[in-house]
Amino acid sequence: MTEREPAASDFRVGSELVVRAIPGVPTVESGDDLSEIVVAAFDHAGIDLRDGDVIVLASKVVSRAEGCFVDLAKVAPDGRARALAEEVDKDPRLIELILRESLGISRKTKGALIVRHRLGFVSANAGIDASNAAPGNAPPDSGPWVLTLPQDPDASAAALRDTLGAQYSANIAVVITDSWGRPFRRGTVGFALGVAGLPAVWDRRGASDRHGRVLESTESAVADSIAAAADLVAGQADESRPLTLVRGLQFPRSLESSKALLRNPEDDLYA
Span 140-176, pLDDT tens digits: 989 899 999 999 999 999 999 999 999 999 999 999 9
Helix/strand/coil for 213: coil
Confidence of residue 7 (pLDDT cuts 50, 70, 90): very low
Helix/strand/coil for 216: coil
pLDDT of residue 17: 87
- Domains of the chain and any CATH numbers: 8-67+149-262 (3.30.1330.100), 69-147 (3.90.1660.10)
pLDDT of residue 134: 92
What distance in Å separates the CA atoms of residue 227 and residue 157, rounded to the nearest whole number? 13
**For all residues of the chain together, what is the average pLDDT?**
88
Q: What is the mean pLDDT of residues 231-250?
A: 84
pLDDT of residue 204: 65
Of the candidates 135, 159, 119, the one whose C-alpha atom is nearest the C-alpha of residue 65 is 135
Confidence of residue 263 (pLDDT cuts 50, 70, 90): confident
pLDDT of residue 174: 97
Q: What is the mean pLDDT of residues 195-208?
A: 79
pLDDT of residue 220: 77
Of the candidates 35, 265, 69, 60, the one whose C-alpha atom is nearest the C-alpha of residue 172 is 35
Percent of the chain with pLDDT over 90: 66
Residues in contact with 47: Cβ distance below 8 Å, sequence separation at least 6, in sequence order: 22, 245
pLDDT of residue 205: 65
Residue 107 φ/ψ, nearest 5 degrees: -145, 160
Q: What is the largest CA-CA distance in the chain?
A: 67
Confidence of residue 237 (pLDDT cuts 50, 70, 90): low
Calculate ∠ Cα 156-102-188, nearest 5°.
70
More confident residue, 265 or 178: 178
Lowest mean pLDDT among 12-16, 25-29, 46-50, 190-194: 12-16
pLDDT at 196 over 90: yes
pLDDT of residue 161: 96
pLDDT at 225 over 70: yes
pLDDT of residue 235: 73
Which residues lie across from 249 on neighbouring strands?
13
Exposed e or buried b for every residue in 232-251, given b needs 16+ CB within 10 A? ebbeeeeeebbbbbbeebeb
For 46-96, write each residue's pLDDT tens digit.
999 999 999 999 999 999 999 999 999 999 999 999 999 999 999 999 999
